[in-house]
Chain A
């Protein structure tokens, strides 16, 4: 499949596709981090995670419409605020969902999966009723448009760089939070031994709620990032959900670095293969490789090491 291109063309193709893979990587990483927090750490699977991403994207769209209408002068800066608002909105909705639904189902992980799928149906239909079935795009500020021209035939879009930086920043903050903060310690303790944690005075119910809403909040940031590289429709989130699950499982469930590595691998493979194999074949090939790999090595790339398992 490579024979019809010259070496330089191939080089540029790999650079370009590799870079567009980085944008996909950013979205998958942000989705995966939120999921890993919820699924990897609490054993709960959130099928509505994609809808939380869409919620973040719609929040940004909503902010953009508001800004255009009432404060056009604020236009260049609104996007930064909108990311924060998307995070807050999703985290709040997440906390509500946890309170009403998830906390009753912690001991039934398979049922959580089904119930959250029901939730995702409701959320999708809500978007359709509120924003219409057509895809929407927020007006992006000027400074996100355009591209860096590195050399002849090789343009790097600014929005891609921005999303990548955002994803890496969130990952960094997340790792700091998990391993340096008091809450992170509590969370890790709850994961390791729920009974013991509650015996030493950790409010495990509260830890669960914060973790769940944090995971949803990060999905909101993923949604905000998503608006810069694609338009948002009611089912935008569900298109990424399987990829995001695979990112988490393939990375080794509870492992942040594994999540980064597997998001990178999956995104790059998909993006580069998509160029050479027409249509969906690139995606099929990537997914197939991951599924076969997971069958042979179910613990993922970086399994957590616990004695006796």
Chain B
């Protein structure tokens, strides 16, 4: 019970979480054909980044415009494993060097690069999905938060890192697959991930991991650590002089957010079947921030809903009115930032408080009209 209370501070939180879980775990799988469900799974893989942004941006006040980097790193780790499996010597017999990924062969590589070797192993890959983004984030965070870099500077530098990584992958076609990315992924340890059944299973794996991550984030938010995070955001100096290592707290949060993003990237690759630098650069990284902003930067459930909602409307609108979509997207973004900084979740709680206040006001009037005559009588 105490643990439950750590996860959900109010009944509203528990209810909204349960509703969202019900939606993605039961209603959508029943209502949608597998093709659509797979799309939802793709959107939900952005949800991992959203959860990380709630911790990092909403709670700790650090805006990273480079979350695509970690999403991409996790995704590339997964894609490298799947690509190696898809490039066994038999299938690639027609290549001049069989047994290496096709794009390497096209780029006149004759041997697998050293850094690809470990990705033959599945346990290593799973480890790398967390460790690679985590380590990169830790090093960046440690270097910058120690020197008290934050705010706008941090945003710009993380954005530059997103540009560097996407250009770097783009420019090294032989080693990374270049602009096209790593494509034509088929099986995961012999299991065909393109079949309908596999896509359904992968969807549920994605949903369960997402809900697990959300609970993990909620746990962090509602412990003392969560309060310290908000304190760092609002009163950095006081926290430091209460004996906390502020730089370490920020670095840790950044690392956790990066690992979540990496997991999201890996699940994206499993469900979508490719990874490319176009998912890493400036624009996708900033779009990830929009998803969280629209849903609500302070709310874990809000951020996940935001990912679903923005992507749904994106696919609905951009198919029908591709020109209007960018206006709508830009306009929504400006509106959210200017008028609803806490996003949909903020509107939801605000509506709750308005309702409560109205109810309280009514309650005050009703007994007042009933008791006033009685109350005034003894006074006379």
Contact = CB atoms under 8 A, between A and B. Distances in A.
A90 to B, nearest CB: 19
A105 B168 CA distance: 35
B341 interface: yes
A116 to B, nearest CB: 9
Interface in A81-128: 101, 104-105, 108-111, 113-115, 117-122, 124-125, 128
B115 interface: no
13 contacts: A39-B152, A113-B155, A115-B334, A120-B330, A121-B329, A121-B330, A121-B333, A125-B326, A246-B156, A249-B153, A249-B157, A280-B168, A295-B149
A305 to B, nearest CB: 17
B330 A122 contact: yes
Interface in A221-265: 238, 242, 245-246, 249
Contacts of A121: 326-327, 329-330, 333
A296 B149 CA distance: 10
> By CB atoms of chain A within 10 A, which of B144, B153, B329 has the most?
B153
B144 A291 contact: no
A122 B155 contact: no
A105 B337 contact: yes
A287 B140 CA distance: 15
A22 interface: no
Contacts of A246: 156, 160
Contact of B160 (A117, A278, A280, A291): A291
A298 interface: yes
B167 interface: yes
Interface of A: 39, 43, 45, 101, 104-105, 108-111, 113-115, 117-122, 124-125, 128-129, 238, 242, 245-246, 249, 278-281, 283-284, 287-288, 290-291, 294-296, 298
B326 A245 contact: no
Contact of B144 (A43, A124, A298): A298
Interface residues of B, number: 40
Contacts of A296: 143
Nearest to A253: B153
Interface string B316-341: 00000001001101111110011001
Q: Nearest 7 pairs between A and B by C-beta?
A: A118-B333, A121-B330, A122-B330, A125-B326, A118-B334, A280-B171, A295-B143
Contacts of B326: 121-122, 124-125
> By CB atoms of chain B within 10 A, which of A119, A278, A280, A290 has the most?
A280
B33 interface: no
A219 to B, nearest CB: 17
A115 B157 contact: no
A43 B332 CA distance: 24
A291 B6 CA distance: 40
A45 B164 CA distance: 20
Interface of B: 61, 63, 140, 143-144, 147-149, 151-153, 155-157, 159-161, 163-164, 167-168, 170-171, 282, 286, 289-290, 293, 323, 326-327, 329-334, 337-338, 341
Given A45-B152, A281-B171, A295-B140, A118 B160 contact: no
A298 B333 contact: no
Given A114-B289, A125-B326, A284-B171, A249 B333 contact: no
A114 B335 CA distance: 11
A294 to B, nearest CB: 6
A298 B153 contact: yes
A246 B155 CA distance: 12
A298 B155 CA distance: 13
B167 A284 contact: yes
Given A104-B338, A110-B152, A122 B282 contact: no
A122 B159 CA distance: 20
